[in-house]
Chain A
Amino acid sequence: MVPTNYYVILSAILFGLGVFAFIFKRNLITIFMSIELMLNAVNLAFVAFSQAFGRLDGQVFVLFVIVVAAAEAAVGLGIIILIARNRQTLNVERVDLLKL
Chain B
Amino acid sequence: MTAPLVVFFALAALAVIGAVSLILQKHPIHSALSLIVVMVALAGLYLLMGAEFVAAVQIIVYGGAIMVLFVFVIMLLNAGVEEHTNLSKMAGAPGLLLVLALAGFVAATVAKSGASVQATAQTGVLSSTKGISEMVFKDFVYPFELTSFLILVAILGATVLAQREKS
Enumerate chain A interface residues (CB-CB to B < 8 A): 1-21, 23-27, 29-30, 32-34, 36-37, 40, 43-44, 47-57, 59-60, 62-64, 66-75, 77-82, 84, 90-91, 93
A-B CB contact pairs (8 Å), 6 listed? A2-B5, A15-B106, A33-B70, A51-B49, A56-B125, A56-B131
Q: Are B77 and A40 in contact (CB under 8 A)?
A: no
- Which chain A residue lies CB-closest to B73? A77
Chain B neighbourhood of A10, CB < 8 A: 12, 15-16, 45
Q: Are B155 and A74 in contact (CB under 8 A)?
A: yes
Which of B31, B49, B65, B82 interacts with A33 by CB under 8 Å?
Answer: B31
A17-B23, A60-B140, A80-B73 as given contacts; A3 in contact with B121, CB under 8 Å: yes
Number of residues on chain B facing chain A (CB within 8 A) = 89
Instruction: Give chain B nearest CB distance to A86 CB in angstroms.
Output: 11
Which of A7, A40, A77, A93 interacts with B70 by CB under 8 Å?
Answer: A77
Which of A36, A59, A75, A80 interacts with B66 by CB under 8 Å?
Answer: A36
Enumerate chain B interface residues (CB-CB to A < 8 A): 4-5, 8, 12, 15-16, 19-20, 22-23, 28, 31-32, 35, 38-39, 42, 45-46, 48-51, 53-54, 57-58, 61-62, 65-66, 69-70, 73-74, 76-77, 79, 82-85, 87-88, 91-92, 94-96, 98-100, 102-103, 106-107, 110-111, 113, 116-125, 128, 131-132, 135-136, 139-140, 143, 147, 150-151, 153-155, 157-162
